Structures are given as structure tokens and as C-alpha cells.
Amino acid sequence: MERKPPEESTTAPEHVALAAVLRVRGGALEALLWERALAPFAGAWALPGGLLRAGETLEQSIQRQLAEKVDVRELAHVEQLDTRSAPDRVPGRRQLATSYLGLVPTDADPGLPADTAWHPVDRLPPTAFDHGEIVLAARERLRAKLSYSNVGFALAPAEFTISELREIYAAALGHDVSATNLQRVLLRRDVLEPAGGRREPGPHGGRPAALFRFRSRELAITDEFAVLRPPGR
């Protein structure tokens, strides 16, 4: 008896664009999430995003979703992360999801709706669908790029001391970073330049610290084989 091939669905799957938006604040890497009010996963936290509209590119879709849903209108850097197509990733629906990594610098403070908040990536609340996995994938992409590119510009303010930049790198990488080594590496790669000023010492005293800035605020590969490893490794 001849076996019939399995029937293929004639209904095109939905396609959503999702954004894993990350920043560093208070010594921690944080992700932007909004709290779902409806099933499935009511009360869980989700990545901002939504359905792709007809005639819209994925890049246009994620920019629109961020502006409309969480009032984030500008990112220092955004790049496509991955596409997920597991048939059961959304209960009762066939839905593809293309995710993006977005970065916000420390001196930007976008206004957020009441149902939206920043959460430490190391202590995420219960998340909807596979959104927690996407946040962790975004963190790993960021950590890799901090090693071999100048992407730190997208997390840092326009001007900073080396100590301030070290705190940003340490929070994003998840391990301590030597300020001396970081300065040596980034200057050798021609990533940083003096900003021409100094930061006055805080209430505990000390010497004024020189200010630096990134030479470019556009992504560039600076050392494709480099890895910023934890101390002692």
C-alpha cells in the first residue's frame, strides 16, 4: 500500500519581531520587559515586539513596536539576533519569531509605560514563551562582541573615565575587568581617544580622572580573535 506524504499546511505562519533591549545600570546588565495582561502567560514578562505588518520589513517592524509599545525610539545599536521556528513555541498558533539585540547607553533614560520595567538579566522574572532564552542569547551575543568589537560604545555615555567604562564592561561580561588592561587593549586597538577633560573626584577624594570617548559610534570589528576572559583564566 502506497503511503501518502503528510499534508502540508496551507496557512502561512505568523511572524513577529522581538527586541531584547539591554543596558547597564547600578553595576548590573538589565533587560527591558513588559508584563502581559492576557492569556497565554498572563502576568508573565515578555519582550517588546509584535506581528509583522504587510509591506513592512523586520527592521521597520521592531522600530515601530518599540516606539508604540514601550516608547523606546532610539537605540545606540541594534542587530538581528536569531529566528525561532519551533512549531510549539506559542500555544495553539504557528508563529515564527525574529529577535533583535538592542543596546541603550547609561546616559539615556527612555520613559516607560506602567507595565514595562528593566530587570537584571541574572534575575529575570517568570517570562512568556521562549523570551527568557532570547534574553540570555542576547547577553551571550553582547559578551562576545565586547571582546572583538567596539560595541561598548552602545552601552557607554558620550564621555567617561576608564574606571566608569570598566564598571560597564564588568557588568555586561559578568566578571571583573582590570581598568589598566581594558585601557591598554582599547587604546592599542585605536578604539578610544582622549575627550580633553577630567572628572573631578567624588566625596571620598582622589585625583581628577581623564575623560575618554569612543572614536566611532558605529560598530566595527577590532580584533576578530580576541576574548575578554575572567581574571586568572
For the cut 80, the answer to whether the pLDDT of residue 3 exceeds it is no
The model's confidence at residue 73, banded by pLDDT at 50, 70 and 90, is confident
Residue 199's domain comprises 150-214
Domain count, the chain: 2
Same domain, 56 and 162: no
Please check whether residue 231 lies inside any domain of the structure: no
pLDDT tens digits, 202-219: 665 568 899 999 999 999
CATH assignment at residue 208: 1.10.10.10
* Mean pLDDT along residues 34-57: 96
Same domain, 126 and 22: yes
Same domain, 99 and 162: no
Q: Which of 146, 161, 192 is the last residue of a domain?
A: 146
pLDDT tens digits, 86-103: 999 999 989 999 999 999
The model's confidence at residue 33, banded by pLDDT at 50, 70 and 90, is very high
Question: 45: buried, middle or exposed (CB in 10 Å: 19+, 13-18, 0-12)?
Answer: buried
pLDDT tens digits, 17-29: 999 999 999 999 9
For the cut 90, the answer to whether the pLDDT of residue 173 exceeds it is yes
Same domain, 181 and 208: yes
pLDDT tens digits, 121-140: 999 999 999 999 999 999 99
pLDDT at 164: 96
pLDDT at 184: 94
pLDDT at 204: 58
Same domain, 122 and 195: no
